[in-house]
Amino acid sequence: MAVRRRTTLVPGRVGRFRRAAIVSLAVLIGAAPLQAQPAAAPPRQPNIVILLADDWGFSDVGAFGAEFATPNIDALAQAGMRFSNFHVAGSCSPTRAMLQTGVMNHRNGLGNMPETIPDEHRGKPGYDTVMNHRVVTIAELLRAAGYRTYLTGKWHLGSDPTRLPTARGYDRAFSLADAGADNFEQRPIEGMYDKANWTEDGKPATLPKDYYSSRFVVQRMIDYIEAERKSGKPFLASINFLANHIPVQAPDSDIARYAAMYQDGWTALRAARAKRAAALGIMPAGMPIVTMPTTPDWQKLDADERAAAVRTMQAYAGMATAMDREIGRLVAHLKATGDYDNTIFVFLSDNGAEPTNPFSSRRNRLFLGMQYDLSTANIGRRGSFAAIGPGWASAASSPLSGYKFSAAEGGLRVPLIIAWPGNAKIRAGAISDGLAHVTDILPTLTELAGVKGHGGSWQGKAVEAVTGRSLLPMLGGAPGSVHGDTPLGYELSGNAALFRGDYKLVRNLAPTGDGKWRLYDLKSDPGETRDLAAAMPERFAAMQADYAAYAKANGVLDMPAGYTADAQINRYAFEQQGKPRLIRLGLWAGGIILAFSALVWSWRRRRRARRVDQAKADMVGA
Q: Quick one: which of 469, 472, 546 has its CA closest to 505?
A: 546
Active site residue 133: no
Q: What are the CA-CA distances from residue 207 to residues 175, 185, 187, 213 (Å)?
A: 11, 7, 10, 10
Which residue among 92, 106, 437, 483 is the active-site one? 92
Residues in contact with 473: Cβ distance below 8 Å, sequence separation at least 6, in sequence order: 482
Other residues' Cβ atoms within 10 Å of the Cβ of residue 337: 12
Instruction: Give the Cα separation of 242 and 494 in Å (integer).
Output: 26
Which residue among 121, 156, 245, 483 is the active-site one? 156
245 Ramachandran zone, left/alpha/beta (phi>0; psi -120 to 50): beta
Strand-pair category, 172-176 with 148-154:
parallel
431 contacts 475 by C-beta, under 8 angstroms:
no
List alpha helices for 295-374, DSSP H.
303-336, 362-371
Q: What is the DSSP string of 84-149?
A: SSEE--SSHHHHHHHHHHSS-HHHHT-SS-TTT--GGGTTSTT--SS--TTS--HHHHHHHTT-EE
β-bridge mates for residue 240, sequence order: 52, 153
Q: At how many degrees (to 10) do helices 303-336 and 266-279 cross?
A: 30
324 Ramachandran zone, left/alpha/beta (phi>0; psi -120 to 50): alpha
Instruction: Give the Cα separation of 186 and 213 in Å (integer).
Output: 10
Q: Is the dihedral of CA 52, 54, 59, 62 positive or negative?
A: negative
Q: Quick one: which of 96, 327, 142 has its CA closest to 236?
A: 142
Instruction: Give the Cα separation of 290 and 293 in Å (integer).
Output: 9
Instruction: Give the Cα separation of 622 and 119 in Å (integer).
Output: 73
Strand-pair category, 416-419 with 343-349:
antiparallel
Strand-pair category, 47-53 with 235-240:
parallel
Active site residue 156: yes
Give burial (CB, 10 Å; 0-12/13-18/19+) of 202.
Answer: middle
Q: Quick one: which of 501, 436, 523 has its CA closest to 474?
A: 436
Instruction: Give the Cα separation of 37 and 414 in Å (integer).
Output: 51
Other residues' Cβ atoms within 10 Å of the Cβ of residue 466: 23
Can you tell me whether residue 503 is helix, strand or coil? strand
Strand-pair category, 235-240 with 148-154:
parallel
Instruction: Give the Cα separation of 54 and 548 in Å (integer).
Output: 31
Other residues' Cβ atoms within 10 Å of the Cβ of residue 600: 10
| For residue 244, cis peptide bond before it (omega within 30 degrees of 0) | yes
Other residues' Cβ atoms within 10 Å of the Cβ of residue 208: 10
List alpha helices for 508-578, DSSP H.
537-554, 565-571
φ, ψ of residue 561 to 5 degrees: the values are: -60, 135
Active-site residue set: 92, 156
